[in-house]
Structure 1
Amino acid sequence: MERNNKESTLLEAVQLGDRPRIAQLLKQNTDVEVTDHMGRTPLMIAVQQNNTDIVAQLLVAGSDPNHRDLTELTPFICAGANGFTASLKLMAAAGADVKSVNRFGGTALLPAAEKGYLHTVQACLAIGVPVDHVNHLGWSALLEAVILGDGGRLYADVVQTLHDAGASVHLQDLDGKSAVYYADEQKQERVLGILTETLEDPQHPAVLEAKSLAAQNNWSAASQTVQTALESDGDNLDLLFYAGFYLAAQDRFEEALAQYSHALVVAPDALEFHFYTAYCYRLMNQSENALQEFEKGAALSSENSFYLYHKSNYLRELGRHEEAVEVMDELVARNPERYDFWFHKANSLRSLGRHEEAVKAIECAIELQPDNPLYAKHKAQSEQLISKK
């Protein structure tokens, strides 16, 4: 749409986080649904920047949480995919369609589970996002949490949350494999115990008490409970993880990082703490530090693709698609049978305008999973873009 100066200025003001200027423009009845060259409204930009105050400001002015940009992404689903729980809740209260899906057929819950955003998973379930929705890849949130997780402390809690919400452990993907199958194949023992209800919970009593407090959003008390236990058991990895996790929930990031750092001193092979450290840096908007932690984890766990995959995910979030393609090249070289890796590579190539290469990548996914209509659709879209070009 053609924009006047006020509307262009609103997009710029949101990009800059200038709340007084935004308020001034909104008083002048500026169109809150104005879009930029990517089809993003001011609300989408505010969500992507995790600026909850501006998200609230725009919602009060009537911004639509269900507006789709040129990639068919809505602000609501974007919040779920990025773990921005506060914005997600605000948009749900403002009338977001909690059952809406992105172009991959996934609700807000699926990427939240995939990336280990426990608080966002809990919020999605609380506002009514369906627990067993299946996307075009044939995966539910539970399948994504197992297939794309590492079975560590955080992902075990994500799986437990989904299981408690009634997620089907028997639901099978397009290859006929269930979450139980993948947990067993990937030797995720704790996750397997949760799914088969055979887990004898060995967690520290302080962790169980802290979880109960956290369920009431009493993060301070949860954090203090774990900190007190650490005074007499300072090298306990469970306690160190939850100490960091609950500190991060209160935006006490430097303290959280100290707990994760100590855990890696105690147990250098506890590689999952590199993921927690990266997660913390991400919340601090320190992208280079976050990427370095993903790289450390990848270098130390060369036998699996967990860290490389999540590094590529983060690069896509940052819009750094050239680098994401480089990581995906390494992933498909390691795992040429992973159709989802080829699919993600194709999407980054398309974002870069490299449509011929995108078609070749999506053809690899089609060869591996020929009955999936999602791949044929994306190939056709890329071919259409080539013809326009």
Structure 2
Amino acid sequence: MDSKLEQHELLQAVQEGNSARVAQLLTEQVDVEAIDDSGRTALMVAVQRNDVAMVERLLAAGSDPNHRDHTELTPFICAGANGFSTSLELMAQAGADVASVNRFGGTALLPAAEKAYLRTVESCLSVGVPIDHVNYLGWSALLEAVILGDGGRLYADVVQTLYEAGATVDIQDFDGKTAIYYADEQKQNRVLEILTDTLEDPQHPALLEAKALAAIGDWNSAAQVVQTALESDGDNLDLLYYSGYYLASQGRFEEALEQYSRALEVAPEELEFYFYTAGCYRSMNQSEHALLEFDKGAELSAENSFFLYHKSNYLRELGRHGEAVDIMAMLVDRHPSRYDFWFHKANSLRSLGRHQDAIEAIEYAIQLQPNNPLYRKHKAQSEHLLEQN
């Protein structure tokens, strides 16, 4: 068979999860670093599918976890951005550059913190991803978790994990504001207490035992401990949250959904649980259900930017950039000083081939941060694409 056809077949076999065909092609010494039209190697495809066994096989065959696709994304950073902790750890063991950054200047830790992938945040820290790295927007992982979080239980755990690992609290963004400033501004009271060492949090005794079990990776026992506690304290929101979290950590998403839904029955005002239900549906590849959960949270929230932003983020992951643009248009109307919103809007516009509109959007970000080279680079790229069309 022609070598180029074999290379194309390797990518296709990985996309289809055809492990037998992949094994056969690898024995034929096909080029494991062959790329598709997007510059993705087979390893990147395996990571995006969260196919851990395939990731392990390709790494063993010599695939490079540091290869960059046409968007400057590597398999290692991709794993961090999607919450794929096991794949991230495997690639770190295989020689991934844990300090590498994406085109926004972010390490694998930053998008993991932004999206509240707690286990992946822990994995990033365990393999040595720099904790205080600042991206081209001027944000560290701690700043991202506060600015783009809701201060709920999951984001508070992300913040606490970063804080206890030594994250610097007084890093200032390009506006001279710290994580403490944003936590106070957004009324994230628990996060603020964590960052100012004023947290007084008498936890349910079962949670202390469950967290100790989770710390050694025994998610099943942790879930059982919490479930036993729920038998006598079934309306405890913390227990319901951690029960759902430990179940989801094992891939038991239907059971996790039951716990989160129960929490919403007990306390309908606790809107953070819609973020957790959306996360379960995402992990189950039920995108329409996930989007509906984001909508429920947005409709009930007085300040619904959190849900709208994360819905837009998810739409971009799905390749539905037109819908993402519509949401970002709403957000920049409400928050015209949010340069990150303008930047994300410009990115989606460029993905749609609307390069003139992308240039106009990025110019607003430039007005807000005139000295940020990221925006000028983005504008130059969009101008180049516009000239080619």
Q: How far did 1:315 drift?
A: 1.1
Deviates more, 1:132-141 or 1:54-63: 54-63
Kindly provide the amino acid, as one letter, of the partner of residue 136 in structure 1.
Y
- The aligned residue for residue 275 of structure 1 is 275
* Local SS of the residue matching 1:278: helix
Asked whether the 8 Å contact 1:3–1:34 carries over to 2, the reply is no
TM-score (ref. length: structure 2): 0.98
Which runs of structure 2 are paired with 1:354-369 in the superposition (5 Å)?
Answer: 354-369=354-369
> Which consecutive unaligned segments of at least 5 residues does structure 1 have?
none
- The aligned residue for residue 59 of structure 2 is 59
- The aligned residue for residue 16 of structure 2 is 16
Q: Distance in 2 between matches of 1:349 and 1:268?
A: 36
TM-score (ref. length: structure 1): 0.98
String of CA shifts for 1:305-362, please: whole Å, max 9, x gaps.
Answer: 0001101111111222122111111211221111100001111111222111110010
Kindly provide the amino acid, as one letter, of the partner of residue 328 in structure 1.
M
Which runs of structure 2 are paired with 1:318-357 in the superposition (5 Å)?
Answer: 318-357=318-357
Asked whether the 8 Å contact 1:114–1:141 carries over to 2, the reply is yes
Q: How far did 1:3 drift?
A: 6.8
Q: How far did 1:263 drift?
A: 0.5
Asked whether the 8 Å contact 2:114–2:149 carries over to 1, the reply is yes
Q: Distance in 2 between matches of 1:295 and 1:304?
A: 9
String of CA shifts for 1:235-269, please: whole Å, max 9, x gaps.
Answer: 00000000000011111111111001111111111
Q: Distance in 1 between matches of 2:75 and 2:368?
A: 32
Q: Distance in 2 between matches of 1:289 and 1:28?
A: 43
- The aligned residue for residue 308 of structure 1 is 308
Q: Distance in 1 between matches of 2:133 and 2:3?
A: 38
Q: How far did 1:304 drift?
A: 3.2
Asked whether the 8 Å contact 2:294–2:311 carries over to 1, the reply is yes
Q: Distance in 1 between matches of 2:333 and 2:205?
A: 44
- The aligned residue for residue 265 of structure 1 is 265
Kindly provide the amino acid, as one letter, of the partner of residue 201 in structure 2.
D
Q: Distance in 2 between matches of 1:321 and 1:86?
A: 29
Q: Distance in 2 between matches of 1:54 and 1:223?
A: 29
Q: How far did 1:22 drift?
A: 0.8
Q: Distance in 2 between matches of 1:378 and 1:201?
A: 45
- The aligned residue for residue 232 of structure 1 is 232
- The answer to whether 1:222 aligns with 2:222 is yes
Q: Distance in 1 between matches of 2:327 and 2:93?
A: 38
Kindly provide the amino acid, as one letter, of the partner of residue 34 in structure 2.
V
* Local SS of the residue matching 1:4: helix
- The aligned residue for residue 183 of structure 2 is 183
The runs of 4+ residues in structure 1 deviating greater than 2 Å are: none
Q: How far did 1:388 drift?
A: 2.1
- The aligned residue for residue 212 of structure 2 is 212
String of CA shifts for 1:183-233, please: whole Å, max 9, x gaps.
Answer: 000000000000000010132221122111111111111111111110110
String of CA shifts for 1:362-388, please: whole Å, max 9, x gaps.
Answer: 001111111211111111111111122
* Local SS of the residue matching 2:316: helix
- The aligned residue for residue 154 of structure 2 is 154
Kindly provide the amino acid, as one letter, of the partner of residue 147 in structure 2.
I
Asked whether the 8 Å contact 1:278–1:293 carries over to 2, the reply is yes
Identify if the C-alpha distance between structure 1 residues 19 and 86 changes in structure 2 by more than 3 Å, giving closer, same or farther: same
Kindly provide the amino acid, as one letter, of the partner of residue 52 in structure 1.
V
Q: Distance in 1 between matches of 2:6 and 2:302?
A: 52
- The aligned residue for residue 29 of structure 2 is 29
> Which consecutive unaligned segments of at least 5 residues does structure 2 have?
none
Kindly provide the amino acid, as one letter, of the partner of residue 290 in structure 1.
A
* Local SS of the residue matching 2:308: helix
Deviates more, 1:95-104 or 1:350-359: 350-359
- The aligned residue for residue 45 of structure 1 is 45
Asked whether the 8 Å contact 2:297–2:304 carries over to 1, the reply is no
- The answer to whether 1:97 aligns with 2:97 is yes
- The answer to whether 1:386 aligns with 2:386 is yes
Deviates more, 1:225-234 or 1:279-288: 279-288
Kindly provide the amino acid, as one letter, of the partner of residue 22 in structure 2.
I
Cα RMSD after superposing both structures: 1.1
Q: Distance in 1 between matches of 2:354 and 2:51?
A: 32
- The aligned residue for residue 117 of structure 1 is 117
Aligned length: 388
Q: Distance in 1 between matches of 2:257 and 2:80?
A: 24
